[in-house]
């Protein structure tokens, strides 16, 4: 590696970025500034070193408890304070969740994610989730849950039930966080991630781009993720889905190639992680999704709905995989 300067940083250029290291924001930004072909080439080299370049994991995401959330996340239609078409709904039954998981497996999914619109779960919620996790795990699916901020001991209970991953996104860089959310702070997110790690669960942690942030902020998000010790095994990169009634509705759209660059930077800085092409695919042309796979994305959410927003249908994904020569992982 090249020598570091007085500030402990170094210039990043194509061909000099594959050694594991602690990433500074300026180093990630230097990646994002590379000529597009050079960036994609480097991301492909890293990807092929650690993953099957033609295999993509299919995950299905279900909302087990929708709406009524007390938080004020500017992107989220489930916040009770915003006037969207998402109402406050009770928790799904165990039978509904298991039936959805079985159907997802039949469609080719190998991972099943359960989300709930809570600031954090109560013990009765944990009890219900443990039943769901155990039942879904019994189907032979990898399990993930995103339930909000956890109290001491809750992560251990979820692990005992068979949970593989806990999702808790950082959303954006620390300096931009208060522009998006004011009902919690960044340290709250880090505290829950620490509980998840200490419980022996795998971490699923990523963010959202296209919320009006700068490239420097996107670099800050990737640096935060890459510098977690260890970095997350699962990194969902979401493109903002603008929902009428939320504060971020009407935000200037992010250039699609900038989104692809963000995927590539995540792949290079977290080489062994599953980089998940998450929300926003419904509006992405096939060519943009193909570039995301080329940049190192190796997981998608499969099925026509995410928590509350749309997603490409199963038939469209099958057609895309056929065109690209991809196969489910």
Active site residues: 69, 73, 76, 113, 144, 204, 276
Residue 79 DSSP class: B
Q: What is the distance between the alpha carbons of residues 253 and 231, in angstroms, rounded to a whole number?
A: 29
Q: Apex CA 179: angle with CA 173 and CA 184, to 5°?
A: 80
Tokens standing for 270?
């977290």
Q: What is the distance between the alpha carbons of residues 42 and 249, in angstroms, rounded to a whole number?
A: 34
Residue 310 DSSP class: B
Q: What is the distance between the alpha carbons of residues 8 and 19, in angstroms, rounded to a whole number?
A: 16
**What phi and psi, each to the nearest 5 degrees, are found at residue 175?**
-70, -15
The structure tokens 């504060």 sit at: 247
Tokens standing for 183?
């009902």
Which among 265, 214, 261, 210 is positioned nearest to 235, based on CA atoms? 265
Tokens standing for 84?
């969207």
The count of other CB atoms within 10 Å of the CB of residue 52 is 12
User: H-type helices in the chain, by residue range?
Assistant: 25-33, 36-50, 94-106, 123-138, 154-160, 174-180, 186-198, 215-226, 256-269, 286-294, 314-324
Helix (H, G, I), strand (E, B) or coil at 299: strand
Q: Apex CA 220: angle with CA 241 and CA 14, to 5°?
A: 105
Helix (H, G, I), strand (E, B) or coil at 104: helix
Chain mean position to CA 239: 10
Helix (H, G, I), strand (E, B) or coil at 123: helix
Chain mean position to CA 277: 7
């Amino acid at each position: 590696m090249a020598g570091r300067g007085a500030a402990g940083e170094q210039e990043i250029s194509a061909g000099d970025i594959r050694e594991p290291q602690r990433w500074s924001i300026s180093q990630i930004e230097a990646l994002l500034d590379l000529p597009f072909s050079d960036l994609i080439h480097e991301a492909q080299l890293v990807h092929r070193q650690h993953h099957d370049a033609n295999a993509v994991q299919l995950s299905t995401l279900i909302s087990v408890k929708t709406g009524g959330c007390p938080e004020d996340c500017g992107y989220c239609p489930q916040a009770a304070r915003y006037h969207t078409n998402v109402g406050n709904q009770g928790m799904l039954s165990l039978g509904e969740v298991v039936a959805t998981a079985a159907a997802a497996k039949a469609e080719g999914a190998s991972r099943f994610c359960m989300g709930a619109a809570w600031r954090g779960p109560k013990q009765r919620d944990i009890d219900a989730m443990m039943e769901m996790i155990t039942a879904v795990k019994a189907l032979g699916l990898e399990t993930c849950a995103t339930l909000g901020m956890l109290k001491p001991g809750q992560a251990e209970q979820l692990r005992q039930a068979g949970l593989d991953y806990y999702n808790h996104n950082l959303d954006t860089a620390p300096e931009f966080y208060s522009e998006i959310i004011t009902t919690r702070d960044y340290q709250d997110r880090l505290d829950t991630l620490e509980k998840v790690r200490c419980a022996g669960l795998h971490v699923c942690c990523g963010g959202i781009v296209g919320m009006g942030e700068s490239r420097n902020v996107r670099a800050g998000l990737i640096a935060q993720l890459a510098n977690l010790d260890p970095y997350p095994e699962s990194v969902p990169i979401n493109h903002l889905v603008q929902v009428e009634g939320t504060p971020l509705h009407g935000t200037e759209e992010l250039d699609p190639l900038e989104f692809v660059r963000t995927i590539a930077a995540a792949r290079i800085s977290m080489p062994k992680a599953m980089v998940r092409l998450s929300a926003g695919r419904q509006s992405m042309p096939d060519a943009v999704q193909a570039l995301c796979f080329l940049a190192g994305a190796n997981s998608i959410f499969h099925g026509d709905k995410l928590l509350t927003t749309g997603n490409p249908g199963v038939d469209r994904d099958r057609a895309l995989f056929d065109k690209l020569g991809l196969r489910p992982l």
